[in-house]
Amino acid sequence: MPVETPIVKPAEKRFLKIRLSGFQLGNFSLSGGRQRLQGDVLEIKREDLSRLRPHRIPIREPSLASYLQSTPFLQSDHPQIRALARKVLGGETDGLRAAQRMRKWVYNGLAKVPTVSIPNALEVLQTRKGDCNASSTSGAPFTTMPGPRSGWGNGSPWIRSSTSFRPT
């Protein structure tokens, strides 16, 4: 969604405070973790990745096996998705760097267009277009390949744009 005032140097910000309007806030679970909704004001804190201890990939821990399963919307076992994941990851074994590679591919590889559907990863991969739901859907199967799956949720990604903000 567009913002009235451009965000100056968004990549350098550690905290975002934004007033939301134009939709029913009660339909979304926006409080928890690194973000808090008070009334119509959403506050988001950037995660400190320097303290993260990423998993080495591929992850083979039995306790995480259920997170690696393909689903009807996240077809992580499909040959096209597996081939693209191998290409994008390029042999990377650090989980954080792998996630950054995946995010970069999804951001640069998809045309940003509104989509009136519930997308699935294979469809998004084949059409190379979609909205924030499509971006989440196309990136999530990559994460089932090397490690725990990301998933859909109501949250707010920190994007590198000075003129827009997207709650997902």
In a domain, 2, yes or no: no
Q: Are residues 122 and 96 in the same domain?
A: yes
Among 25-29, 61-65, 116-120, 148-152, the least confident range: 148-152
Burial of 10 (0-12, 13-18, 19+ CB in 10 A): middle
Q: Are residues 16 and 97 in the same domain?
A: no
Determine the 3-state secondary structure of 82 from DSSP: helix
Q: How far apart are CA 129 and CA 114, in angstroms?
A: 9
- The tally of domains found in the chain comes to 2
Contact 78, 138 (CB under 8 A): no
One domain for residues 129 and 61: yes
What H or E segment, with its residue span, contains residue 77?
none
Q: How confident is the model at residue 147 (pLDDT cuts 50, 70, 90)?
A: very low
Bridge-partner residues for 2, per DSSP?
Answer: 164
pLDDT at 151: 39
Residues 132 and 69 placed together within one structural domain of the fold: yes
Query: Are residues 130 and 115 part of one domain?
Result: yes
Q: Write the single-letter amino acid at 83.
A: A
* Domain ranges, residue 36: 10-49
The answer to whether residues 22 and 99 belong to one domain is no
- Top mean pLDDT of 21-35, 48-62, 78-92 is at 78-92
Tokens representing 156 are 């707010």
User: At 135, is the secondary structure helix, strand, or coil?
Assistant: helix
